[in-house]
Amino acid sequence: MTTLADRIELIEPMGLYADIAGLKDFTRLPSLVHGDPVTLDFSSVVGLPPMTVPLDEYVQALGRAFAPFSATQHTVTGHVVEIDGDRATLHAHVRAEHRVPEERAGGGPVTSRRTSSPRVRPAPRAGCR
């Protein structure tokens, strides 16, 4: 796993990951991005320890979490891929914006922003550990 094609295969799912919430596609996209079960590490975002959950449980939680927002945008940039034999780690910067409908904002901010730099271990593919 060292070619440019290998790196693209690792980076492409990050764009799909960003689209899950933006498009509110909780049916088709999650299985293209995540293995089952999925290991989540949002410790750099909200301080929760890493956890492994069934994919369908994660997808249901995503739907509930993003339901209040009228729009979201997640931008993933600065991809750094570290390859070690048949294993890889991807580090990227994520900027997220979540728009709350004005009638629900109660005079507060309509858009919240969050920036994080998660490390992702992509789901194993055929021929990889």
- Please provide the average confidence, as pLDDT, over all residues in the chain: 82
Instruction: Report the distance separating Cα 41 and Cα 38, nearest Å.
Output: 10
pLDDT one-digit tens code per residue, 30-43: 998 888 998 888 78
Would you place residue 111 in the very low, low, confident or very high pLDDT band (cuts 50, 70, 90)?
confident
Residue length of the chain:
129
For the packed helices 4-22 and 55-66, what is the interaxial angle rounded to 10 degrees? 50
Would you place residue 127 in the very low, low, confident or very high pLDDT band (cuts 50, 70, 90)?
very low
pLDDT one-digit tens code per residue, 57-89: 999 999 999 999 999 999 999 999 888 888 888
- pLDDT reading at 54 higher than 90: yes
Contacts of 53 (CB under 8 A, 6+ apart): 37, 38, 40
Q: Is 120 exposed, middle or buried (0-12, 13-18, 19+ CB in 10 A)?
A: buried
Q: Which one-letter amino acid corresponds to residue 13?
A: P
What's the distance, CA 77 to chain centroid?
12
